[in-house]
Amino acid sequence: MATLKNGIFGGVSGKVGNTIYYMLNGKQMARKVGRTAKSPTSAQLANRQAMKVTIDFLRPLSAIIRTGFGLEAERRNIYPQNAAVGYNKSCAIKGQYPNLEMDYEKVLVSTGNMLKLYDPGATWSGNAEDGYSLWFNWDVGMEDREWPRCNDVVLLLAYFPEVALPEEGENREGFLHAEACIKTDGARRKEGQDVLEIPAHLAGRPMEVYIAVVSENGRKIADSQYLGRMMAGS
Kind plus residue range of the DSSP H or E element containing 14? strand 12-16
pLDDT confidence of residue 60: 95
- Which phi and psi (to 5°) does residue 165 adopt? -70, 150
pLDDT confidence of residue 232: 77
Domain edges within the chain: 2-32, 42-231
pLDDT confidence of residue 9: 46
Kind plus residue range of the DSSP H or E element containing 80? helix 80-91
Classify domain 42-231 at the CATH superfamily level.
Answer: Immunoglobulins (2.60.40.10)
Q: Give the residue from 43, 88, 45, 44 showing the smallest Cα distance to 64.
A: 88
3-state secondary structure of 145: helix
For 152-177, write each residue's pLDDT tens digit: 999 999 999 987 555 554 444 445 57
Confidence at 32, pLDDT banded by 50, 70, 90:
confident
pLDDT confidence of residue 172: 42
Q: Give the single-character DSSP code of 1.
A: -
Measure the CA angle with vertex 90, ends 87 and 92; round to 5°: 80
Q: Measured between alpha carbons, how far is 52 from 215 in angstroms, rounded to an integer? A: 32
pTM for the whole structure: 0.81
- The beta-strand segments (E) located in 40-147 are 93-94, 101-102, 118-127, 131-139
